[in-house]
Amino acid sequence: MPATAPNTRRDLFRGSIQVLVLSILADGPQHGYAIQQQLDLALGQTLSASSLYPLLHKLESETWIGSTDTTHRGRPRKVYQLTTTGTRHLKHAAADWQATIA
């Protein structure tokens, strides 16, 4: 089987990033940098902050995630968590993804 072409890998990454972020948050609340690090570990590919934070804002506007402002070591942080609506969306999206790759 031939190796996946770089553009194909990038397109798959872009198409599934919302589901990946939701699945990370299904394990519990996280701040943006922690989400970015988990994506890096899971995919071996870096998602820049300039791409991640607009995505988080979009997911929040869809009411799939919520956020809470906190302070950590004197620095303001925003912690993101999956909502009930986000959990439902994640289940449907994961089922669709499984059907697609099958």
DSSP state of 71: E
- Can you tell me the distance from the alpha carbon of 2 to that of 44, in angstroms, rounded to the nearest whole number? 20
26, 68, 37, 16 alpha-carbon torsion, rounded to 10°: 50
pLDDT tens-digit profile of 2-47? 555 556 656 665 668 889 999 999 999 999 999 999 999 887 878 8
User: How sure is the predictor about 1, in pLDDT bands with cuts at 50, 70 and 90?
Assistant: very low
CA distances from 90 to 24, 56, 84, 94 (A): 11, 15, 10, 6
Indicate the pTM of the whole model: 0.81
pLDDT tens-digit profile of 38-72? 999 887 878 889 999 999 999 999 999 999 999 98
**What pLDDT, on the 0 to 100 scale, is given for residue 96?**
84
| pLDDT of 85 above 50 | yes
